[in-house]
Structure 1
Amino acid sequence: MSTLSDKLKVPGDFWGGLASTLVALPAAVAFGVTIYSAISPQYAVFGALAGILGATALGLIASTFGGTDRLISAPCAPAAAVLSAFAIELVNQGVAPASIVLMLTVLGILTGLIQILIGFLGVGRLIRYIPYTVVSGYLSGVGLIIIGSQIPRFVGTSANTAWWRAAVNPALWDTRSIAIGAATVLVALLAPKITKAIPSTILGITAGIIAYFVLANTDATMMTLTDNPLVLGSLGASSEGYIGTIIGRWYDIGELKLSQVAALFGSALTLAALLSIDTLKTCVVIDQMTRTRHDPNRELFAQGLANIASSAIGGIPGAGIMGPTMVNLSSGAQTRVSGIIEGLLVLIVALVLSNFIAWIPVATLAGILIVIGLRMIDTKPLNFLESRATVFDFAVVAVVIGFALTVGLIAASAAGVALSILLFLREQVGGSVIRHKTFVSQRSSTWYRPEAEMRLIAQKGDKAVIFELQGSLFFGTTYELYSVLEAEIKTRDYIILDLRRVLSVDITAAHMLNQVRDMMRDRGMPLLMSNVREHLPNGNNLLEFFKQTELIDATDAVRVFQTIESAIEWVEHKLIGDIELPVETEVALNLQEMNLFQGRKVETLTDLEARMEQRTVKAGDSIYSIGDQERELYLIRRGVVRILAPIGGSRQLHHIATFGRGDFFGGLAFLDDHARGDNAIAHTDIDLFVLPLEQFNQLAEDHKKLAFLLITAISRTLAHRLRHADGERTMLHV
C-alpha cells in the first residue's frame, strides 16, 4: 500500500483542503455553539472552541487512518442534534454545567469506542442496507431539529427558550438579531444561483457580519465584546487555562463510577449509529462519483478513533459529511491527504483569525445552521403521494420524521426500518411465487424422441405439471403455494418444482413442502424437484437445508434433478412406459429398422449403407467439436449422444439436446456450409452410421430419388424440432 506522501497530488489536494476548510470551519463553530449554548449562554465561546478542535482532530485522524479518498470529516448536524438534546435534558435535571461538559466528553469517547467495535465486528457493511425512506425521513427529521434549535438564537432570545415559545412571542425578539440572521439566510440561499466559485456558507457569514457592523454604526454597545450577547466573544484559544481545563476534565473522568458511564451507553449507541450512517452515506456518494469502492469497516474504525481523539482534547464528535466533501471533490482533490490538509488549515485559520471569529454574530451562525437544516429536508418523498403504489412509502418517511421530533433519532430509525420490513413483507405476500405453470405436453426435455413417442407424450403430458417458482419461499407465501399444489395433487400423477429462480427458503416453507411430499407419497408418486442449488444468493446451501429439515432423505419420496430438462426427461420415460432398453442390452439397428427409412426397399438401403462408414465411439469421447469443418450426418444405431453448446454468449457449455437409438444428429452442418456450433459427446458407448457429404453427392447422382427422400426426411424432422422449440419458447414468454 502506498504511503500518504506517495499519493499526494499537488495542487489538487491543497486547493481541495483549503476550500473544504472554508465550508467546514464555520459549520463546526456553529455546531459547537449550538451544543454548548444549550448548557448556558456563557458556554457559547467554549462551544466555538470545541467545534474548531473537533474539525481539526477529525480532519487529521480520520483521513490518516481511513481509506476513502477525498472524504472530509468534521462536526456534523446529527452530532449537534443529539448532543444539544442531551445537554438540554441534563439542564432540566438540574445537573451542574461543569458536569454536563464532562458528560459530553465521556459520551463522545464512548461513541468512538462503539464505532471502532462496529468496524471490528464487520457490521459496517450492513448499514448500507438501510432503506431510502428511512434515510430520507432521518435527514429531514435532523434538519427540522436543527432549525428548531436555532430559532431562539435567530430571534435573539435566550438559548434555553423553547423554539415554539420564541417563535410566537414577538416581545422576546431582538430586531437586530433577526436582521443579521435574515441577511445571512437570504445570501446563503441565493448565492448558489449567482456563483459557485465561493461557497454559499462563506458568503452567508460575510453578509451576516456586514449586517452586524452596519447596525453597529447606530448602536455603540455592539462595538464591544464584553457582555455582548450578539457575538461569540473571545475564544481564549491560547489561554493557559485551556490545558488546565482539559487535565482537570480527565481527572474528573477518572473519578466517575462505572454506573454513571453505563448510563450514557444508550445515547452513545444512538450517536454512533447516526454518525456511522452519515459517514457511510457520504462514502457511497463518493464511490458513485469517482467509480471507487470504500471499505466501510475500515472507515468506521478511523471515524471512531477520530471521535475519541476529538472528545479527549475538548472537541465535539463528527462524521464524514457531504457538504465539505463535495467542495473538496469539485476543487480538484485526489486523495485523502486533502482531509489532513483541511484539519491543519482549520487549526491555523482558527489561531490566526481567533480575534475575527470572536466577532461572528450568534444570529449568523444560527442562520447558517437553519440553511443547513433546510437543505437536509428531503422533499422528493412528496412525489410519493401522487401514486397509490407509493403512498405507504411516504407514510414511512412521515413516521420517521414524527418519531425524530417527538421521541428520538434512534427510535425514528428503528420505527422506519420496522415499517419498511412490513411493507416489504406486504409486497412479497402480494406477489406470486409461481412464475410459470406448464405441463410436460407443452415442454420437452433435451431428449429428441421419435414422432410416435412425442405423440404419446403429448396425449399423456397433462398428467405431469411443472411449477417454476421464484423469489422467497417464506411464511408469507407458504399458504398461497400450498393451496395451489394441494389442488394439483388430486388430479396429477407427477409434480415438478423448479427452484432455479428461488432466492431463499425458510423453515415454514420447508415444512409445507414436507406435507406436499407426504401427500404425493400417499398416492405412490414421488415429488420431483430440480435446480436445488447448493449456493443461493444469500450464501445458504439449499440442498443441505432440505436434508436438515428431512424433506430429502434416503427414500425416493423426493427425487432431485440437476436441471428441469432432466426432470422432464424422467417423466417422459414414465409416460411412454420405460420402453428404452438398458444400454448394455441394446441391439444395434440396421438402416431399415430406423424410422427415417421405414418403408424403403432393402436393395436401395443396401446401396446407401455401402456409402456409409460404421463407427464406434466410447462413452465420454468426442464425436465432433465446435469449429469442426467436417460435413457429416450421424445416425445412431445404439447408445446415447449428448449435444453441448454455449448459451447467451457465455463460453460455458450447456447440455441442450440428447439423441438416442434410431435418431440422427449433425444435420445443420450437413445441410449448410458452416462450421459446427456445438459439441457432440458419447454419453454411452455408441455405434453410428456416418454419411459424409461427398458420399451423399455421389448417391444423388446415382439414386436421385433416394437422395431426395433422405433430404426430405432430414428436413422434415428438423422442421418438426424447430416448430416444437418455437412453441415452447412462445409459451415460456407468456
Structure 2
Amino acid sequence: MFRPVLFSDLKHYNFQTFRADLFAGLTVGVVALPLAMAFAIACGLPPERGLYTAIAAGFLISLFGGCRVQIGGPTGAFIIIIASIVAQHGLGGLAVSTLLAGVFLILLGLFRMGGLIKFVPFPVVTGFTSGIAVVIFSTQLKEILGLKADLPAEFLEKLKFCAGHLSETNLHALLLCLGTTAVILGCRKLFPRLPAMLIGMLAATVAAVIFHLDVETIGMRFGELPQALPSPSLPDFRWNELPQLFVPAMTIALLAAIESLLSATVADGMTGDRHRPDTELIGQGIGNIGSVLFGGIPATGAIARTATNIRSGARTPVAGIIHAVTLTVILLLFGSQAKLIPLAALAGIMIVVCMNMSECHVFVRMFKGPKSDWIVMVITFLVTVLVDLVAAVEVGVLLSALLFIRRMALAADIKLITGELGYDGCSEQPDPDATREKHIPAGVAVFEVQGPFFFGAVNRFQEMALGMLRSGRPKLIVLRLRHVPTIDATGLHVISDFAERCRRENIPLVLSGVRPQPFRQFHKYGVSNEVGPENVCENIDKALVRVNAILAEKND
C-alpha cells in the first residue's frame, strides 16, 4: 500500500518538531549545494542541472517517500551511466531514460518489490561501487591537472593520455584542487558539524579571486547560472529510440532502488525507525519523473546527506522539503555568484566523494571471505572500470546467481538411507523417524532428498536413483521428501520421469513426508496421479504401512 510517511507524521506535528526540522533542512541544504553542482559537472552537464535535481527530486522524494529522514538528489553512482547515455543518446535520451526509470521504480513499489532489492549480493554492490569511485576519479583528471584538451572516453586511454600530457599540468589548478580536498578533510576532522564541502569550495573560490589564479571557473565554461527554476516540460524524443533506452533506464532504476533503500536502511540504524520500502520506491519514482520535468538528472537517496540530516536533528520529511526550499532560495539569490567557483575546487570535492564511495577497507576485507564472493567482486569491479556500469551490473548479478545456484545444489542431498544411523543430520539428537528406528522389509530401498529440489540439484538424484535401477532391482522404492521445502518445474519433471521409469520396471514408488508446497505442485503437475494418490503418505510410518500392504498384495 502507498502510504507516504509525511502524511502520517503531520497528524502529530508540533512547533518543537518543526524547529528541529528547520535547522536540519537548512543545514543539509547548504551541504547539498556544492555536491549538486559537482555531480552535474562530473557528468559533463551544466551545474544548474544538479541543482534542479536536488530541488525537484529532493522535494518530491521527501513528500511521497517511505523514510522519515531520507534526502534525495543526484549522487556519484549515476555519473558514469549519465555520461554514457548523454554520449550515445544526447540530453533527450537521458531525460527519457530517467522518465522510464521513474516509471519502473513506481511499478517496483506497487508490486511490492522493495523487500527483494536487498537480495542484490553484497560483493556485486561493493565491486561496482568501488569501480564507480575509480572511474569518477579518472573523469576528474582533466580538472585536477588543469588540462585544456578533452580526455578520451575509455579508462585506460584516459590514464595513457594524462601520463603523456603531465608536462602541461596547470600547477594553480592542481594546488587549488588538493587544497580544497585538504580543507574538507581537515574541517571534517576538527569541526564535524560544519558544512565542510561548502567551506572548501568557498575557500578555494576566495583564494582564486584574491590571488588571480589561472584556473577555469564555472562561468568560463558554462556561463552564469539561471536564477530561477525552469518551467516543467516533457522531453523531446523519437519513439523509435525507446527500445535502445530500455536497458539504461533499467540500470538507473536498479541503482536508484539499491542506493535509496540502502540509505534508508542506514537511516533506520541511526534513528531506530523503520522505513517503508515499497512506498520509498514509489517516492523515488515520482522524484525522478519530477526531476525530468524540471530539467534535472537521475536522483536517489543520498547516504551522506541523509546522515547529515539525521545528525542535524531531523525528525520528519519536512526537513527534506526545507532542504529543497533552501536550495531554491540560494539559486534565486546567489546563483549569479556561482560563475566564480573554480572547476578545480569542484574536482577536489569529487576526490572526497570518491574516497567515501570506494570504501577501501571494505574492499580489502572482502578478500578474507569466501573465494567465490571476492572473485565476483573483483570481476564486477574490473568490468565497471574497463567496460561500463551496465555490463558490470549484469555480469555481477549473473555470476552471483550462478554461485547461489551452485551452493544450493551442494546443500541439497540425495542419499540411500535404508540403513541410516538414526540421526537427522541437523543435530546430535536421535531422530525418532529415522529408518534405523523402523522395520524396513527386505528388498525395499529408501531414498531421502534434503533441501530444495530444483534444477540445480536434480543431477545428483538422477545419478543415484536411476543408477540404482540399473545396478539392482529393489522390490519397492520409498522416496522421503520431509526435508524438501520447495520444488520447481525441473524437479517435478524429474520425479515424474522417475515414477514413469519405476512403472515400466514394475517397481512400486511410495512418496513419504511430502510438505505443503511440493504436495500442491504434485497435484497440479499430475505426479500424484502417476504415483497413485494412495502412495503419497504424510510420514514414514504411514508410508511403511502402505509398503507392507503393497508387498502383501504382491505375495498374494
Q: TM-score, normalised by structure 2?
A: 0.82
What residue number does 1:402 align with?
Answer: 382
**What is the 5 A alignment of 1:279-358?**
279-358=260-339
Letter in 2 for 1:77: G
How big is the shift at 1:320? 1.0
**Secondary structure, counterpart of 1:552 in structure 2:** helix
Q: Is the 8 A contact 2:124 2:380 kept in 1?
A: yes
- Mapped to 1, the partners of 2:218 and 2:301 lie a distance apart of 36
After TM superposition, the structure 1 stretch with the greater mean CA deviation from structure 2, 398-407 or 132-141, is 398-407
Match for residue 198 of structure 1 among 186, 194, 200: 194
Identity level (%)? 27
Letter in 2 for 1:134: V
Letter in 2 for 1:383: R
- Mapped to 1, the partners of 2:129 and 2:415 lie a distance apart of 39
Q: Is the 8 A contact 1:529 1:558 kept in 2?
A: no
What residue number does 1:133 align with?
Answer: 123
Letter in 2 for 1:127: I
Structure 1 residues 681-704: Cα deviation after superposition (integer angstroms, max 9, x where no partner):
xxxxxxxxxxxxxxxxxxxxxxxx
**Secondary structure, counterpart of 1:26 in structure 2:** helix
What residue number does 2:18 align with?
Answer: 10
- Mapped to 2, the partners of 1:110 and 1:481 lie a distance apart of 45
Letter in 2 for 1:6: K
After TM superposition, the structure 1 stretch with the greater mean CA deviation from structure 2, 61-70 or 162-171, is 162-171
- Mapped to 1, the partners of 2:415 and 2:309 lie a distance apart of 49
- Mapped to 1, the partners of 2:546 and 2:310 lie a distance apart of 62
Matched, 1:67 2:58: no
What residue number does 1:152 align with?
Answer: 142
Q: Is the 8 A contact 2:383 2:389 kept in 1?
A: yes
Letter in 1 for 2:174: I
Structure 1 residues 97-149: Cα deviation after superposition (integer angstroms, max 9, x where no partner):
xxx45554444434333433444454544433211121112211221221111
Query: Residues 160 and 402 of structure 1: is their aligned pair in 2 closer, same or farther, counting only changes over 3 Å?
Result: same
Matched, 1:543 2:519: yes
Query: Residues 190 and 569 of structure 1: is their aligned pair in 2 closer, same or farther, counting only changes over 3 Å?
Result: farther
Structure 1 residues 518-547: Cα deviation after superposition (integer angstroms, max 9, x where no partner):
45556765322233223xxxxxx3223223
Matched, 1:57 2:65: no
How big is the shift at 1:412? 1.1
Q: Is the 8 A contact 1:441 1:457 kept in 2?
A: no
CA radius of gyration, larger in: 1
Q: Is the 8 A contact 2:72 2:300 kept in 1?
A: yes
**Secondary structure, counterpart of 2:316 in structure 1:** coil
Greater helix content? 2
**Secondary structure, counterpart of 2:535 in structure 1:** strand
Q: Is the 8 A contact 1:445 1:568 kept in 2?
A: no
Letter in 1 for 2:10: S
How big is the shift at 1:323? 0.8
- Mapped to 2, the partners of 1:396 and 1:185 lie a distance apart of 32
Structure 1 residues 267-310: Cα deviation after superposition (integer angstroms, max 9, x where no partner):
33332332232222222333444454444343233222222222
Match for residue 486 of structure 2 among 504, 511, 519: 504
How big is the shift at 1:233? 6.0
**Secondary structure, counterpart of 2:529 in structure 1:** coil
- Mapped to 2, the partners of 1:456 and 1:413 lie a distance apart of 51
- Mapped to 1, the partners of 2:94 and 2:27 lie a distance apart of 30
- Mapped to 2, the partners of 1:115 and 1:123 lie a distance apart of 9
- Mapped to 1, the partners of 2:321 and 2:449 lie a distance apart of 54
What residue number does 2:499 align with?
Answer: 517
How big is the shift at 1:57? 0.7
Matched, 1:29 2:61: no
Letter in 2 for 1:23: V
Q: Is the 8 A contact 2:478 2:509 kept in 1?
A: yes
After TM superposition, the structure 1 stretch with the greater mean CA deviation from structure 2, 78-87 or 61-70, is 78-87
How big is the shift at 1:356? 4.6
Higher relative contact order (CA 8 A, sep 6+): 2
What residue number does 1:185 align with?
Answer: 181
Query: Residues 542 and 331 of structure 1: is their aligned pair in 2 closer, same or farther, counting only changes over 3 Å?
Result: same
Q: Is the 8 A contact 1:225 1:234 kept in 2?
A: no
- Mapped to 2, the partners of 1:543 and 1:468 lie a distance apart of 16
What residue number does 1:590 align with?
Answer: none
- Mapped to 1, the partners of 2:495 and 2:104 lie a distance apart of 43
Query: Residues 436 and 184 of structure 1: is their aligned pair in 2 closer, same or farther, counting only changes over 3 Å?
Result: farther
- Mapped to 2, the partners of 1:487 and 1:101 lie a distance apart of 62
- Mapped to 1, the partners of 2:397 and 2:436 lie a distance apart of 56
- Mapped to 2, the partners of 1:122 and 1:187 lie a distance apart of 44
Q: Is the 8 A contact 1:131 1:417 kept in 2?
A: yes
**Secondary structure, counterpart of 1:274 in structure 2:** helix
**What is the 5 A alignment of 1:720-731?**
none
What residue number does 2:102 align with?
Answer: 112
- Mapped to 2, the partners of 1:7 and 1:353 lie a distance apart of 36
- Mapped to 2, the partners of 1:17 and 1:441 lie a distance apart of 66
Aligned residues, how many? 529
Matched, 1:273 2:269: no
Letter in 2 for 1:197: R
What residue number does 1:258 align with?
Answer: 239
- Mapped to 2, the partners of 1:493 and 1:77 lie a distance apart of 67
Q: Is the 8 A contact 2:176 2:344 kept in 1?
A: yes
Letter in 2 for 1:527: L
Greater strand content? 1
Query: Residues 445 and 70 of structure 1: is their aligned pair in 2 closer, same or farther, counting only changes over 3 Å?
Result: closer
Query: Residues 337 and 435 of structure 1: is their aligned pair in 2 closer, same or farther, counting only changes over 3 Å?
Result: farther
Letter in 1 for 2:119: Y
What residue number does 1:476 align with?
Answer: 456
Structure 1 residues 473-526: Cα deviation after superposition (integer angstroms, max 9, x where no partner):
233322322333346663755543332322332333333323443455567653
Structure 1 stretches lacking a partner, 5+ long: 38-46, 91-99, 448-453, 535-540, 579-734
What residue number does 1:175 align with?
Answer: 171
Q: Is the 8 A contact 2:32 2:305 kept in 1?
A: yes
Q: TM-score, normalised by structure 1?
A: 0.64
Matched, 1:564 2:544: no
